Structures are given as C-alpha cells and as structure tokens.
Chains A and B, each alone.
Chain A
Amino acid sequence: MPWTIVNKENEIDCDYGNSEEGARKLSYSEAIREALMQAMTLDENVFIMGQGINDKIGMFGATTDIYKQFGEVRVFDTPLAETGLTGVAVGAAMNGLRPVYCHNRPDFLMLSMDQIVNHASKYNYMSGGQCTIPLVIWAVTGQGWGSAAQHSQALHGLFMHIPGLKVVMPTTPYDAKGLMLQAIADNNPVLFLDHRQIYNQKGNVPEKMYKIPFGKGVVRRTGNEITILGISSMLQEALKAAEKLEKDGVSAEIIDLRTIKPYDINLVVESVKKTGYLVIADTGWRTGGVAAEIAAEVYERAFESLKAPIERVTLPDLPTPAAYTLENAYYKTEEDIIEAVGRLLGRN
C-alpha cells in the first residue's frame, strides 16, 4: 500500500499553509492538479474520469494536460451518463482501483444518486466488510453570473445525511491538496465538494505530499468574543467580516471545519465555551441543512455556555434566481454575518 508513506499534515513542517517554508504560491486549481498528479505517480491504481476532463480547461484548470503524462487509459473523458458511469466508478473501486470521478457541477450528481446513496455508501456495511469502495466524487459548486437554479447548488447537506459517505469541503489551496490526497487514500466513498469562488485564490502549498485527516478543523483567526463558523466559500466572507468587526472592537474567532462528515465538533464546542456566541455561515439552504445539524449538536453539548441562540447565515429555501438583482438578494455575504453578530451582541 503506497499510501502509508505519505505523511499526515501534522508530521510535516507546515502550519496549515501559513508557513512559507518549503511552500510555493499555488492557485487552488494548481494545488488540486498537483495532488492528482502526485497520487497517480505514487499509485498506479489511481485514475481520473469525467466529462471534458481532457479539455484544456477541464475542471477549471485542475485537470489540464494530466492525460499527456499519464495517458488516456488513466485519464478519460466520459459520456453524459452519470448514473451508469458512477456505477462504473463504484465497480472499479470495488475491484481495487482508486477512481476520481470529476463533475463540473454538483447539480449533475443528482443523476448519480442511485449509485452514491443506494450503492457506494452501503456496500461495505451490507456485505459484512467484503467490499471496500475507495472512490472520490469531486464536484465544483457554482455561483453568480446568472447561473440560476441548476448550475449553482450547494448540495453537501444531502450527502452529509447519508451514512457511509464522507464529505470534504476545502477552502484553501493548502487544504485542497492535502484533502484530495487523503480522499484518494481513503478506503471509503468521499464527496469532494469545493467552490468555484475559491478556485483562483493563491496560497502556500508545500511541494511534498501530505494528507489532511478528515474531521480535523482549523481556527483560522483567534478571537474571544464570538465564534463564526464558515463553510466552503462562506469562510472567506467570515474572514472579511472578522476584519471589519475588529475595527469595531469585536474579537471574532473564525473556524474552518474543512470536512463536514466527519466534522470537528470538539473544536466548535471548545470555541463556544470560550466565546458564548456562535454564528454558522453556510453555502447551503436553511431547512434541514448543515448549519441546522451543527447548531443542534452545539445545543446538545454546550447549551449552558451559550449566552444567546445560535445564528444561522444560510441561503433562503429557494432555487437560485438568475437576475443579478435577485442573485444579490439571495446570496449571503460578510454583511449578513456582521448583522448576525450585531444581533447576538446587541450592537447593531
């Protein structure tokens, strides 16, 4: 098993990408591309598939020209047959390979739900441990430019609900690389759901391989008056909000869970015990969503530490509209987070 030689994040000299040592500035998509190529070099069982993957701009630059190095057997374009091809990926994984199946938009994963929910997530359990399924399904959530209701959905809440799936949501180039390597190394189906809004950001990324363990969150900014949890692209909004809040004399602690199944509930609870207030900012919808799940868990574990009810900053329960005036009303920003903080601290 070649993957045992890849260090875990805490075994290398990197401080979540903050350390300059041994790091280069890479864009988010470059970091993923490096992870894929290193994984394919390390383990011949790794292969990648997806619609348009060998296109110059396949997966927003993250798969560009990989086929030139590894050939079109291990990097192949797929027909528009998501149900069947997801099953193909599951079958290949059951037979010892490590597929990464790429989708430009998670909206198309709805065509794959039978295989993801009825099959991939269940077979190790249902077969009494005979079928491991080391499968990565990777999709990039869209936002803006009038993408409307079928090219913009953040569906991580649906997948979080299903036992047997792991759900990964990186926010930095450093995490993108380390989480992709862990996702490929993992012996279970992993949904790797990232966000188009963070693809062009740059950050420190070590050249060597490293795996980021699932269920280990990071405090992105230390504070002591209020805790703000930012999921996926809402982390950027949370960080911007924290800058502004600091100018107003509010010290916010920003948490990035990095993976939402499993998720680092202890990190959230510890922070809430310190601050007494929690805002959860998610890219998904409100009802039955990830923010609701995390809030329930915090109420159960830290009720007595909370000085006020938890605030959720989420999308309204609506399909995404196209017109920019409606888009602006629909999506949440740093301002919504600041307002939520104001409501909690009574400083509006």
Chain B
Amino acid sequence: MKDERLKLYQAMKRIRMVETAIADNYNNEVREMHTPIHLYDGQEAVAVGVCSELNREDTVFSNHRCHGHYLAKGGDLNRMMAELHNRETGCCKGHGGSMHLMDKKHGVALTSAIVAGNVSIGTGYALAEKMKKSNHVSVIFFGDGASEEGSVYESICFAELKKLPVVFVCENNLYSISTPMDRREPNQDISSKFETILPVHKVDGNDVIAVREAAGIAIEAARSGKGPSFLECMTYRFRDHHNVGNGVDGRFRTTEELQDWENNCPIEKLKKEMLLEGIVNEKKLYDIEQKIKQEIEEAFLYARSSSCPASSELFDGLWG
C-alpha cells in the first residue's frame, strides 16, 4: 500500500498541475487554446482512485470535464495538449477540442459534452464486452447534474437487467454549473434513487483511498459477471463550471464555502498523511513536481510546434 499511495498522489498532482498550467495560459495574449475549458481541480481523487483499479483494456466514458479522466486512464498528455491547441496532432486531430478528449488506444473510449450522453453509450459498450465474452470493464463518469437525466435511469436499469460489466461513477460536486442540488431535486441523496436497482457505494470523493477501495469492489463485481454497481463520490469543484475563475464573486457560492473544501483538498490531505507517516519527504515531493513540470512544458512545446489542420482536411473523417 505504501508505494501505491505515492503513485496515487503523483497521478493526482499531475492532473492538478496540468489543469493549473492550462489555466495559467488559457487567457494569455495569444489565446492559442481555442476551446471552452472545464477544469477538474478538486475532484482528482475520483478519476485517480477509480482508474487505479482498471487495466489498459478497460474503458472509461467521460463528460465535458474530461481532462482528469483522460489523464488518469493513461491518455497521452502531448496529444491532449495538442487537441486543446487545435493542432492536427491532437488526440482527435483537432476535431474534438477540450470537451471531447478521446484516446481509444488507452481506453478513453468516448467523451460527450451532452450531459449524460456518455452514460448509455458506455452501457452499450459493456453490452458488447459481455456479448464478446471479454473480461473488460467499462466505467462511466458523470456528475450530479447528469444523474437527473432520464437516460441515466434507463441505462442503469438495462445494465442491471443484463448484468453488464459496467460501473456508474457519479461525481457529486454539489453544483450543476451554478445551481445547487436543493433547487433541482426533491431528493438530494442521489444514491438512494438507485439503491433498489443495483449495488450502491457512497464514498468520500476527496479520499483517494476510499474511492479506490469502493471502485475495486465495484470493478471486481463487474469483471466477475456479477453486474453493474453505482458509485457516488462526494466531492467539490474548485474552479467555476467553465474557464479559470472560482465562482466566489457572489454569483453562486461564498468564499467560506470554497475555503472549507480547499482545506479538504484530496491531494494536500494525502500529502500531509504521507509526510506524517514518513512515507515521503519534502525533497521527494519537490522532485515529483519538477518531473511533472518538465513533462507539462514538453507537452506545451509539442502542441505549439505542431500544425493546425489544413482547411483541405475539413471533410476528413465524416464517414467510417
């Protein structure tokens, strides 16, 4: 477990540093990242905890806030950064942008910016896995907002009916853009809506170990033919829904609320714990950060030195 914790920390820290680098460059004078961004800061324990239990052949299905899922599953950072910069070397050849990062080779099978659009597709992907008698598992990430869409209920019922190898991971960050739960739903306990249909695990989504343990149980159940599970991870978004702000301008949350959650940062919590237990020291942490920093610098360089797709390629890829 000792080594695993450090690995989980590194994976979370990497996502945070990538998002920070994107935020730092997004509104610069050049504005080369010509794409609407939805940053993942604060929710890293969910993507990392879940994906740490997946194999390369397993798949994830993501949403508009996809950077964390993409990186946690092993998506290529250079190609992600190129996609954000509209380059032909991007993971979607410049056709997708920030809300549609996909890397089939590494199991980032689909990302949809239509909220909950990925949920039924991931379910169908798992149906195919079962029909092909593979032992691969599909994991679908979606938010509390998506849980309100009818297709989530439809997909979950169908997955349970057919005992599909799929895990539904609801990242409950308490807001749908800027609308809190109590303005949207009569029952704000999302898990309770599904617990009569399939096994449900509700965990602290800012505790990567807790997420990992619950995900491990759910993924193992899916892989061994026992069927789907629902994982609700209680977490919080540090940034605004879109762009780089933090939404404490009186629009939808208070500075105090944000600070409370920042004090519950999944990365800092794990760091403190590891320092306290002597698993890691400041020097080691510094080295980790330097390594990630270099990787990010190289990714920006890769993106900036790549070409944008030529207008002659406009029609490429419409048909399969």
Q: Residues of A with Cβ closer than 8 Å to B?
A: 47, 73-74, 79, 81, 83-97, 114-115, 118-119, 123-134, 163-164, 187-188
Contacts and interface: CB of A to CB of B under 8 A. Distances in A.
B128 A187 contact: no
6 contacts: A81-B150, A86-B120, A92-B125, A115-B121, A128-B92, A133-B320
B77 interface: no
B117 interface: yes
A85 B114 contact: no
The B interface is mostly helix, strand or loop, or mixed, namely helix
B127 interface: yes
Contacts of B151: 81, 83-84, 87, 114
A188 B114 CA distance: 21
Interface in B90-131: 90-96, 100, 102-104, 109-110, 112, 114, 117, 119-129, 131
B110 A131 contact: yes
A91 B124 contact: yes
Given A115-B117, A119-B114, A130-B104, A124 B319 contact: yes
B128 to A, nearest CB: 4
Given A119-B112, A123-B110, A92 B91 contact: no
Contacts of A128: 90-96, 102, 317
Interface in B125-175: 125-129, 131-132, 150-151, 153-155, 157-158, 161
Contacts of B120: 83-88, 90-91, 115
A95 B125 contact: yes
A96 B95 contact: no
Interface residues of B, number: 42
Given A79-B154, A85-B154, A126-B100, A90 B121 contact: yes
Given A79-B161, A127-B92, A163-B318, 5 more contacts: A92-B124, A95-B132, A126-B95, A128-B94, A129-B316
B129 to A, nearest CB: 7
Nearest to B79: A128
B124 A95 contact: yes
A91 B158 contact: no
A43 to B, nearest CB: 13
A85 B156 CA distance: 11
A85 B318 contact: no
B124 A127 contact: no
Contacts of A79: 154, 157-158, 161
Nearest to B122: A91
A74 B117 CA distance: 24
A89 B120 CA distance: 9
B90 A125 contact: no
B57 to A, nearest CB: 12
Contact of B125 (A91, A119, A129): A91
Given A87-B124, A94-B121, A119-B112, A132 B132 contact: no
Contacts of B319: 124, 164, 187-188
Contacts of A119: 112, 114, 117, 121
B137 to A, nearest CB: 13
